[in-house]
Chain A
């Protein structure tokens, strides 16, 4: 029997928590309107040093759900195609365009995340499960619900390393430009997929992300990828995030009871 991998991946995402008990604990410090509802349009909170505080649990902004309500995890279109909102899509080099076609034809069988490998530095921001940002004076940490893993962004003034170990998340440093945290990343390894379509990223890639919390409830992230091996020019997409209140990340390990890979036969 052939399973459509995309469907099975999404089913996998949902099945992990379908019967889980969602944590419910009131988020402290929520600004509220007069009628007591969270005021998501209130100004972004600030740290004691006066910088905007990006801390919070976030999910990628997605279109409104059907009348029946949202699933536990809602995939935004950028999860499937990172360049969905660009007029001409992502500017693939010819070989990369061919590869994306091939990967789609294979139903995404070889997607690293289908084999429980890391989502990588980009998809940690687009995966349907939420992410949590913890901001301290010298470091911003992005905690991922998927695989209970994390990405670190150093804001203590250190430079990017000259020759880092290539890794899925790369090495990230950030500095404040007014109210925007500008994050530079190098040290990325070959092999991560940027979306379910299979847009590639190579070890030549450099990433720049601009994090701007425009209100209590909204975090705008502008991502620029400069990967001349895979793309004809640098490109920029927005991965805006909405706050998720009164809950916590769950403990989600892809390899827990993993039974899917053997069914992912492609076409």
Chain B
């Protein structure tokens, strides 16, 4: 187990290494409205292009890790996910994401880049280009705004084919033509070639842009769902170059555990635990996995078994060890985290 955990750490380190020691560019970009003290005035009005449309150009950051990047379906209930998709999702969690496209130097879905990454939008009449710093490699995506329709039978691709039109001051982008190999999030929700994504970009002011994304893939989810991932302008800097070295990282990835525990075993762990008064943690189970939900955070962390009492939180490589009393009853757990251990006691 330790070796597997080390592998995850190496994987994460490999992803981080691209920027950890990098020198961030700092250049006061022209055309940015500034307050008297020279700071960018992010509350100034949004700029407009010559044709009067809002100009979305600039370097934008997403809300950051812990939004929908780990689990795009976090607001859905299990019945909203088709059974085959839930089964694949659970398998990928158990496999610690060994076969994730990003682990193999292939791109993340562009939704991910708008959540946790930096994107430069370059707007021109007829075409908008999004340059993504990228987690694996720096990639780009084109949105045609010249009135063309979506192609009827496009080549399935990682970025899909995007067309956009303006509804007032909102840019509405429709994308289809995805392949069925990309993962919608880090934990591993799949999608099919039937996926359609609609994005609505509205630059509220100079420094802030609303972004609502709607995911519609009836073969994977029983209904379309939408979520917000509002963007903040990142002035006076630029994208760094991101390059993934496939053959130096992939050999270290060993994959996950083959252990499956029976429902009657998993059900023994479900219930409410307490780190401290007022700091509850709830354990539930679904399929072959346990889920840990802490406090008011809606994100449920999937836990795959490494043994009957030890589970790994695959996305972040941390693990949870359940404690038993002499009669074998579960009395609590220790969360072995990056920042130290947290001990929780089962509530009566």
Contact = CB atoms under 8 A, between A and B. Distances in A.
A55 B127 CA distance: 11
Interface string A9-25: 00000000000110101
Interface string A107-146: 0000000011110000000000000001110110101000
A147 interface: yes
A251 B159 contact: yes
Contact of A136 (B57, B137, B158): B57
B42 interface: no
Interface in B11-58: 22-23, 25, 27, 29-31, 50, 57
A152 B243 CA distance: 16
B30 A165 contact: no
B245 A148 contact: no
Interface string B122-152: 1110110101000001111110001010010
A50 interface: no
Interface in A144-165: 147-150, 152, 156-158, 161, 163-165
A251 B122 contact: no
Nearest to A28: B146
Interface in B293-313: none
Given A147-B137, A250-B157, A164 B50 contact: no
A116 B105 contact: yes
B97 interface: no
B245 A117 contact: yes
B107 interface: yes
A23 B243 CA distance: 28
A66 to B, nearest CB: 27
Contacts of A150: 129, 131, 138-140
A136 B123 contact: yes
A249 B25 CA distance: 29
B155 interface: yes
A117 B18 CA distance: 14
A148 B23 contact: no
A248 B177 CA distance: 14
Interface in B224-238: 238
A253 interface: yes
Interface string A88-121: 0000000000000000000000000001111000
A35 interface: no
A138 B23 contact: no
Nearest to B123: A136
B29 A156 contact: yes
Contacts of A143: 129, 140, 142
Contact of A139 (B122, B240, B241): B122
Nearest to A25: B148
A16 to B, nearest CB: 11
Contacts of B129: 134, 141, 143, 150
A28 B144 CA distance: 12
B25 A156 contact: no
Contact of B30 (A148, A156, A248): A156
B104 A21 contact: no
A134 B143 CA distance: 12
B190 to A, nearest CB: 17
B153 A21 contact: yes
Interface stretch (A208-216, A229-237, A254-262): A254-262
Contact of A253 (B25, B57, B107, B142): B107
| Among B105, B131, B155, B241, residue most surrounded by chain A Cβ atoms (within 10 Å) | B241
Contacts of A156: 29-31
Nearest to A149: B138
Nearest to B248: A115
B247 interface: yes
A58 interface: no
A165 B29 contact: no
10 contacts: A28-B126, A118-B137, A139-B122, A149-B137, A158-B27, A165-B240, A167-B241, A168-B241, A251-B155, A255-B246
Given A48-B50, A165-B240, A169-B241, 6 more contacts: A23-B154, A115-B245, A138-B30, A148-B141, A158-B29, A249-B142
Interface of B: 22-23, 25, 27, 29-31, 50, 57, 104-107, 120, 122-124, 126-127, 129, 131, 137-142, 146, 148, 151, 153-155, 157-159, 238-241, 243-247
Interface of A: 20-21, 23, 25, 28, 48, 55, 115-118, 134-136, 138-139, 141, 143, 147-150, 152, 156-158, 161, 163-165, 167-169, 171, 248-251, 253, 255-256, 258, 261
